[in-house]
A and B are shown apart, each in its own frame.
Chain A
Amino acid sequence: MTLGGFILRRLLALVPTVLGVTILVFFLIHLIPGDPARTILGNQATPARIALVRHDLGLDQSLPVQYEKFMARLAHGNLGTSLFYNVGAGRLVLQRLPVTLWLLGFGTLLSLLLAVPLAALAATRRDTIADHVVRAVPLVGLGFPAFWVGTMLTLLFALNLGRAFPVGGYGSGFFGHVHSMFLPALTVALGIAPILIRSLRASLLEVFESEYVTTARSKGISERRVLVRHALRNAIVSTVSVLGVNVAYLIGGTLIVEQVFAVGGAGQLMIDSINARDFPVVQAVTFVFAIMVVLTYLITDVVHALLDPRVRFD
């Protein structure tokens, strides 16, 4: 199968999932106990306003009709209107998205910088003290709440120890971003690194103890060549898989971190909208995040297929 064919097949397989996502997002508003319109308006509720909101949100019609309208609007890229700002919810989210993507990218980079060397260390020195220490990291690390880690990092590096980093914000210019986003990205990285370390170590061990590495050694080539040309290629394939599987967790982590450091990304928009009772925006952000995850699964699959010849010929 060609690469194009592979991508097409994957895209088609994603359609039911995307459909499911829209249904779930659609139903969010109907999970609200009591009258959604009244709850959304909160203490601004008057009968007139309630009726208006009900009509706006299409709540005065039957479910299937509502869903139809929802999907129709979606097809036109309309994710609803913000009750707070009175602009398209989708537009709001897209405005804030670059910050989130920055955080995601930076966080992933830092997590790899942390996880890969540690996992490699543990795998090459199996059952030594170094290995046991590294294996303890996921044990302890997975219990750290992201918002607490962010707060602690703020305490340590933004408020003390020379105040090297700002307490929050996005900064301006590339290096401004790097500076301001370092602590948030580190928080995200520390959130996912334990999982990566555990999975990577297992994958690397599997590679090191595989028969084809023994075959490579039996050729009498240098150990470094064995590692780089044989072990590493296969290890990278596993790494991509591991990253892909955990991307949903990664994206979820950015949400809270954004709020803790007030960087103004899409995640923070969601929290702010929750506090401002701006339901359409909450819905929109949820939807966008899900689509991001789905896209990332697709990209991971494609990269995996590029690296591992076995996958393409499924």
Chain B
Amino acid sequence: MSTTPLLRVEDLRVEFPLARGVLRAVDGASFSVEAGQALGLVGESGSGKTMALRALLGLLPRTARLAGGSIEIDGVQVVGAGEATLRRLRGRTASMVFQEPMTALNPVLRVGDQIAETPMVRLGLSRRKARERAIELMRMVGIADPVRRAEAYPHELSGGMRQRVVIAIALSGEPKLLLCDEPTTALDVTIQDQILKLLAGLRADLGVSVVFVSHDLAVIAQTCQHVAVMYAGQVVEQGPIETVFREPHHPYTLGLLRSVPDFDVVREHLSAIPGLPPDLASPPPGCRFHPRCAFARTECTHDPIPLLDLGGRTARCLFHEECAAEARREPVVARA
């Protein structure tokens, strides 16, 4: 079981220097992905999941700063690495699938050329071979009539097709790791399903690992085997999806699960998590979730809570047992 993970993130910190202080978007997040595995990174907006993902390839926004921690992709350290190292990793070892396909594609270039770029520049294929590869990729991601479609500009394609193009671009360098930043959030529900099935199929066929960022628990449940729940810049729970969703050991995870309507289980009531996410420039002392937590006690309000190893899973909660008991009492996920 001790194979080196393809991706190992430890104590990652991403900051935004502000006039009034420092906003810690990611404050000590740790997670890992094995080869061929799919990890879901789930949390509300502002939880830090998108920044954590962007940090992996050094694609943070201009105003953000990678303030510490360690990111190892296929054995290569990203934190503190030079541009040349990062560029080597990008596209070939790990690549990104973006959220908004309309803005992620260059409006003045044909999609075929955009897909063919990485094979041509990074894999050294000739222009013609790269073109063929692009058409092959388009077929692989389910774009009908790829030869004709390759001549199109992004605005001529539908949202779903554009996202397939983005996925094709991400796969064009034959990466081992696919980083997906809410790839289906901007799409219609029916298209969402298609894209998710496509990603699952690609993972099975090509054996790529996936990190899937989303705020939608159902989407994560459908695509990933492992999940890391993020709150206020930290990972608060991590483990196999089955176990975490069936028996969450962190009150935030429990709250998330309870606030999602699930068509398979008719529940007594939907409950929203009371309160608002904290100000990331000055988070509450102790456990960051304690102001909104039903299980909070005085011990939760002083020192930062460490990530506890529960054997095969982790949770950042002192009262995780009580939380799990509560989850068992009124389960959210009824089926296996």
Contact = CB atoms under 8 A, between A and B. Distances in A.
A220 B104 contact: no
A219 B121 contact: yes
A218 B155 CA distance: 21
B149 to A, nearest CB: 15
A313 B156 contact: yes
Interface stretch (A37-45, A111-119, A303-311): A303-311
B173 interface: yes
Residue among A218, A223, A307, A309 with most chain B CB within 10 A: A218
A310 B153 CA distance: 8
Given A212-B106, A230-B106, A237-B108, A218 B153 contact: no
A219 B103 contact: no
Nearest to A225: B121
A313 B157 CA distance: 13
Given A211-B98, A310-B153, A218 B57 contact: yes
Contacts of A68: none
A221 B108 contact: no
A220 B62 contact: no
A69 interface: no
A233 B107 CA distance: 10
B107 A214 contact: no
Interface in B143-171: 153, 155-156, 166, 169-170
B118 A220 contact: yes
Contacts of B267: none
Contacts of B106: 212, 215-216, 230, 233-234
Interface in A256-314: 307-310, 313
Contact of A214 (B86, B98, B155): B98
A313 B155 contact: yes
A234 B107 contact: yes
Interface in B226-273: none
B173 A209 contact: no
Given A212-B106, A233-B109, A221 B118 contact: yes
Interface stretch (B3-11, B37-45, B87-95, B132-140): B87-95
A210 B96 CA distance: 15
B72 interface: no
Contacts of B33: none
Nearest to B110: A309
Contacts of B303: none
Contact of A212 (B87, B90, B104): B104
Contacts of A211: 98, 100, 103-104
B169 A215 contact: yes
A126 interface: yes
Given A218-B90, A313-B155, A307 B108 contact: yes
Nearest to A126: B62
Contact of B83 (A212, A223, A233): A223
Given A211-B98, A309-B155, A221 B122 contact: yes
A237 B83 CA distance: 29
B179 to A, nearest CB: 9
B155 A310 contact: yes
Contact of B107 (A212, A223, A229): A212
B204 interface: no
B59 interface: yes
Given A234-B106, A308-B107, A219 B117 contact: yes
A233 B155 CA distance: 17
Interface in B46-71: 57, 59, 61-62
Given A212-B105, A215-B169, A220 B89 contact: yes
Contacts of A209: 61-62
A172 interface: no
Contact of B108 (A218, A225, A234, A313): A234
Contact of B173 (A217, A219, A308): A219
Contact of B104 (A126, A215, A234): A215
A116 to B, nearest CB: 19
Nearest to B170: A218
A225 B166 CA distance: 19
A238 to B, nearest CB: 11
Contacts of A210: 103
A97 to B, nearest CB: 35
Contacts of B57: 218
Given A233-B108, A233-B109, 7 more contacts: A215-B106, A217-B59, A219-B95, A221-B118, A221-B122, A234-B107, A308-B108
7 contacts: A211-B104, A212-B106, A214-B59, A215-B105, A215-B166, A217-B59, A310-B108
Interface of A: 126, 209-212, 214-223, 225, 229-230, 233-234, 237, 307-310, 313
The 8 closest A-B CB pairs, nearest first, are: A220-B90, A220-B91, A211-B103, A212-B106, A219-B91, A309-B153, A220-B87, A218-B96
